Amino acid sequence: MNQQTTVLLPTPWMEQPDIPWEEYPRPQLRRDSFLCLNGRWQLSCGGTSWGQILVPYPPESQLAGIGRKPEPGQVLTYTRTFTLPEGFLKDRVLLHFGAVDQICRVYVNQVPVGAHQGGYLPFSLDITPQLKGENTLRVEVRDAMDPDLPYGKQRKKRGGMWYTGFSGIWQTVWLESVPEDYIRGLTITPTDQSVTISVTGGGKELYLTWEGGRVPLEQGAVTLKPENPRLWSPEEPNLYPFAIQGGGDRVESYFALRKVEIRRVGDYARIFLNGKPRFCHGLLDQGYYSDGICLPGSPRGYTYDVETMKSLGFNTLRKHIKIEPERFYYDCDRLGMLVFQDMVNCGPYSYLLDTVLPTAGQRRFALHRRPSPRGRTFFRRHCEETLEHLHNHPCIILYTLFNEGWGQHQTGELYRQMKALAPDRIWNSASGWFHNAPSDVQSEHIYFGSLEMRSDRRRPLVLSEFGGCSWPVDGHRFNLAKEYGYRKFAVRRELEQGLEALYRRDILPQVASGLCGAILTQVSDVEDETNGLVTYDRQVLKVEPERMRAIARELAEAMEAACGQRQG
């Protein structure tokens, strides 16, 4: 890869304040005690100083102020000092990390306080015993791109559908002070009529406050049944705020009322939201940005993506092989966007065996490539932790276990275990080629040739990837030498006509024969990929919104007609 062919592209949110991402990072468990540790840290790599880095951006990114990548196995060492503000300290002080990639150890005043492996999930440490007047925080990180740990679309050598790997701290670092018996977590499980809220920690006398009333939590749980319930949907994303008090602690949160289920209508199974059939008109969402790589320059980046895709008529984002900061899911909750959430793949990958041959119909080779026993164990645990982490977000209606056979193993067993942990969500065991395993949906990927599919009638049919319509916009291309996409167009008009033809010729006619959702590739360009509806830097929207909204209306009408005819 000739690095001189790539260019730096700033997004509209490219800011470098003293403390970026300074907002409270956990929207569903908010406290009044919060000290953000983002900002300038000292960074060294392999014992050599790299100067100051702007946390929480990864060192490979433009926004970090580093623009360098560690060699595999090299240790990145982050250090900074902090003092607690006057009146901040209660009984305990918790140190939180949104995400650190891939293996890290944490020290406070030279004392080891904890370690973590993974790269995509948050973790917390109680650092109370180590605190002094002025404190030194050190984080040692090693990113070996271990295939036994989740790594998603990252690659040591980026190119095509693989992206620049990111290392180290890439989400908010923060402190909060809590009482001895603090509220450790909430579990929020809704239907379209009620919600059950369970609390861990906080002592025996817990109270919930909402809509002006105060309700005791018997044995740490309560079920609320609002009068005249206001349901949550993409059209009306109604949220109910509430607060929990107990043990000297108080947290704020929110819930939504909504029910996701599969029902049979005539000959076909359909996806229902709040008792009505729903066509999931969606986009593949990689969650990559031109200047922050895995993180937008500010939280407004997530808001832009969700609002812009809604303005085009889309109601679903498939979050592809990546877990975002909670701000993304909060934006989907409050703005009204359904989410299909992928688990983060691990294990070996071969472009020939896992993509080229299956695309051509030769699928027997890929499933012989299994993760190691260590990788299988870690993947299972990571899935469980992902469910616990994201459970409370009403926007998430579907989880995907495996993508295109990559790392796929013990599919039936994992499906049953994960379904038992999250029975209120739809489960796609294998997005793409290998959809004969137990699964709630039949999932297809088609990029070439005819998009005609045949529903098995037992499960909703979802085209979980298609399109890849590429139009590189001059002045907004990351790679000046390469264009990666499946259907290529030279100008905006041709791209819009191509998209309209795909939907009206291939997608719309199949709604009557069982198609319940279609996920277009994709939200934005990403590095070599130029198949987004917006450019990688989010500066250019490639399509006219009203033309796209017309397609969305036709899809919704087709679903209503198909189900109405069957029911009538």
Predicted confidence band of residue 350 (pLDDT cuts 50, 70, 90): confident
Token pair belonging to 10: 């700033």
Predicted confidence band of residue 1 (pLDDT cuts 50, 70, 90): very low
Query: Which pLDDT belongs to residue 294?
Result: 95
Query: Which pLDDT belongs to residue 359?
Result: 66
Contacts of 342 (CB under 8 A, 6+ apart): 318, 319, 320, 321, 322, 399, 400, 403, 431
Q: How many CA atoms lie within 13 A of 132 on its CB side?
A: 9
The Cα 386–Cα 388 span in angstroms is 5
Is residue 365 scored above 80 in pLDDT? no
The Cα 107–Cα 81 span in angstroms is 12
DSSP 130-157: G--SSEEEEEEEE----TTS--TTEESS
| 9 compared with 331, residue with greater pLDDT | 331
pLDDT tens-digit map of 294-328: 999 999 999 999 999 999 999 999 999 999 999 99
Q: How many CA atoms lie within 13 A of 98 on its CB side?
A: 28
The Cα 490–Cα 471 span in angstroms is 6
Average pLDDT of the chain?
92
Token pair belonging to 418: 């994960």
Token pair belonging to 207: 């109270």
Query: Which pLDDT belongs to residue 364?
Result: 61
> How many percent of the chain have pLDDT more than 90?
80
pLDDT tens-digit map of 162-215: 898 899 999 999 999 999 999 999 999 999 999 999 999 998 899 999 987 899
Contacts of 496 (CB under 8 A, 6+ apart): 543, 544, 547
pLDDT tens-digit map of 138-164: 999 998 888 888 888 888 888 888 898
- Adjacent-strand bridge partners of 40: 54
Instruction: Specify the amino acid at residue 1.
Output: M
Query: Which pLDDT belongs to residue 409?
Result: 87
Query: Which pLDDT belongs to residue 218?
Result: 86
Q: Mind listing the domains of the chain with CATH numbers?
A: 34-89+92-178 (2.60.120.260), 183-255 (2.60.40.10), 260-567 (3.20.20.80)
Which helix or strand (DSSP H or E) is residue 564 part of?
A: helix 545-567
